[in-house]
């Protein structure tokens, strides 16, 4: 069965009641305070993100640093983009986040695309990430709305 990759693009939008600069800072520099490592990491290990173009998101797994992603766009406080490759056996996908003023707060938009590069079309992986991003963004929202 052929699946249209556009249909697999994950799009999540949320509103947080803080200014754009605070929303961006909490997502990037403050990510270690809210990211659910116990459920959304390779091994619930130590993790690090170098927030600059060319930087990487990595996790220490069994004594080895394993890359999750590499940053190819970084435009504070408006957004960033990463090549997401948590599983080295699969092709990289593209993760983009945008932070835009929205009334008294910020609209956060996540787009995770590129599933068409998977040998099986990426339908199963995309579905898993769809629910996974709900959990991750729920942690972010709970953290920032404190």
Give me the residue spans of the domains in the chain. 9-144
pLDDT given for residue 89 in this prediction: 84
pLDDT given for residue 3 in this prediction: 44
Q: What's the rounded Cα separation, in Å, for the pair 40 and 64?
A: 18
Ranges of the chain with pLDDT below 50 = 1-5
pTM of the model: 0.91
CA angle 85, 89, 132 (to 5 degrees): 50
- 84, 90 Cβ separation under 8 angstroms: no
pLDDT given for residue 146 in this prediction: 65
pLDDT given for residue 6 in this prediction: 55
Q: What's the rounded Cα separation, in Å, for the pair 117 and 45?
A: 28
- 43, 59 Cβ separation under 8 angstroms: yes
pLDDT given for residue 15 in this prediction: 97
Which of the listed CATH numbers 3.30.530.20, 3.40.50.300, 3.40.920.10, 3.90.1150.200 matches domain 9-144?
3.30.530.20
């Amino acid at each position: 069965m052929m699946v249209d990759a556009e249909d697999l693009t994950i799009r999540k939008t949320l509103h947080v009641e803080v200014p754009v600069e605070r929303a961006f800072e909490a997502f990037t520099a403050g990510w270690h305070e809210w990211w659910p490592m116990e459920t959304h990491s390779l091994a619930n290990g130590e993790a690090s993100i170098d927030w600059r173009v060319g930087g990487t998101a990595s996790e220490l797994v069994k004594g080895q640093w394993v890359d999750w992603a590499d940053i190819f766009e970084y435009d504070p406080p408006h957004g960033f983009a990463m090549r997401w490759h948590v599983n080295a056996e699969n092709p990289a996908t593209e993760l983009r986040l945008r932070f835009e003023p929205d009334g008294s707060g910020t609209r956060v938009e996540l787009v995770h695309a590129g599933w068409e590069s998977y040998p099986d079309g990426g339908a199963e992986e995309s579905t898993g990430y769809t629910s996974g991003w709900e959990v991750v963004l729920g942690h972010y929202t709970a953290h920032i709305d404190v």
